Structure 1
Amino acid sequence: MTKGIAGTGAGTDQPATRRFIIGEHDFSAPRLEAGLYIVATPIGNLGDITVRALETLAASAVIACEDTRATGTLTHRFGLKTPLMPYHEHNADKQRPKILAALEKGEAVALVSDAGTPLVSDPGYRLVRDVLEAGHKVVPIPGASAPLAGLVGSGLPSDTVLFAGFLPQKGGPKKTRLAELGAIPATVILFESPRRLGATLATMSEIMGPAREAVVARELTKRFETFERGTLAELAEKFAGDPPKGEIVILVGPPQDSQEASEEDAEELLRQALTEMPVSAAAKQVAKQTGLDRNALYKLALDLKSDGN
């Protein structure tokens, strides 16, 4: 095993806790300034870790992580000896003062999630806010990100993008949120669990429109990575059976131009909306979804309501 490389300052006096291994080569990590380092880690393939991330993890006084077992797999792979501290939403109030105390002593602390970039759809931002309010440095160490990996492989427009995280689980709030997202002129990126995927796609088809272009990205960067492309209706049908395995990212293309929304689509959307809300609210929601005239939709909704009664 090689002990150090040219230009790194590696040597036999280098503390073991400030070293890391790539393949058969042993590297030293430069010392870090005091601060909280937000370190992105691989979302599947461990080869996606960056050299800068390894240097940061090796040189930190402690690594704050969601699950020490998950992060332990990463640290073992690269020979990292930095102590691990569990930090997650259930123990944050207890652990946050310890992290702030370490920063006060002039130490560097690394924050990681189980996979990907911390703070993306997790509560780590509260720690960052407290660290900043205490006057300490916060340093992002970018790397793997499931939303971006899904976006660049999806084939959907990437000029305007909205990451919406996880949807509400209950039906009413979920439909309301989807109606809001469906009107935004952007590619929308969502996380979803495999067991809810089929039902969520069916609801998305109902609220956002069955012809809306979408992609389901599964197991990104892993051996069985797949991209399933089609309309929301097609994808809802495909995943209506047994739930798939693995991590899921759903991407939905921007809404079609208003000229492309048919009266038949608008009528179906109104029928669905009227089961949950009054006429005025239903017309407003469908107007956002389709770009059609709200007053015309209101009149149509009144007719549908009358026919229904």
Structure 2
Amino acid sequence: MSKQLVLMDHDGGVDDYLATMLLLTMDHVELLGVVVTPADCYVQPAVSATRKILDLMGFSHIPVAESTVRGINPFPYLYRRDSFVVDHLPILNQSETINTQLLSESGQDFMVRVLREAPAPVTLMVTGPLTTVAVALDKAPDIEAKIQKIVWMGGALNVPGNVEKNWEPGQDGSAEWNVYWDPISAARVWESQIEIIMCPLDLTNNVPVTSELVQKMGQQRNYPISDLAGQCYALVIPQDYYFWDVLATAYLGHPEFYQLREWETEIITNGPSQGRTKVVSGGRKILAMDKVDKEAFYAYILQQWAR
């Protein structure tokens, strides 16, 4: 049975690294590369941490590319500085050298090349904004036919967003950060015919990172991946933190854990609702992860990281 071809596009938040780690544990997946989009991070430490994770897990043959796209609304620096912390974790700095290759070509050019050269359609696993995808589509419209689907952590359909008014004055609180960083690019991807499977805040709000689960990861410290996951989650446990990117990525491992629901939607690109994924009759049809077997998901990630 041939493996599922996947290209990862993450944006350097704490859970982006963990989603990448989870993807690497999936035996049925062939990961073609990792693109780092400079959104929820400072890009140099985010790229460095990504390469160190690939080294740690024995996947130094998988290339990493830095996207050079830019968004409209920057993530708060308090979020972005986590990339420095993860890059300096002791478990990722046991060697003075990094073996995983950092490509000289940009992430958007790498995405175009990978899709054109792939022997079969590729799934894009996107856990940050859709900007790199949109730029790649504009550069090479022919790649749309090579994208099997986009599995994306982003959007808020029927719940409030997470762009809080005290962070972004003038906004009405309906936007989700991965859309808000660059809603114009999200709208560009919405114009395509690519199948989109979203993991929106509607679902992630129900799947928190709990102290109990982080402690269970700590009890698996003899497994380096679980140790690293526990250390990363320990950084964020004082705040309300959810399995955003990891929950989206786990869909590739066990889609049967999830129920999907179709919605007609549009991306709001300006005004106080800029960055909102709005449910509208006659809008662009997408599939959203609507429900998940939470206990099965929790057990799955603990099992995958115990290796």
- The TM-score, its normalising length taken from structure 2, stands at 0.33
Higher relative contact order (CA 8 A, sep 6+): 2
Choose 1 or 2 for highest CA Rg: 1
- The TM-score, its normalising length taken from structure 1, stands at 0.32
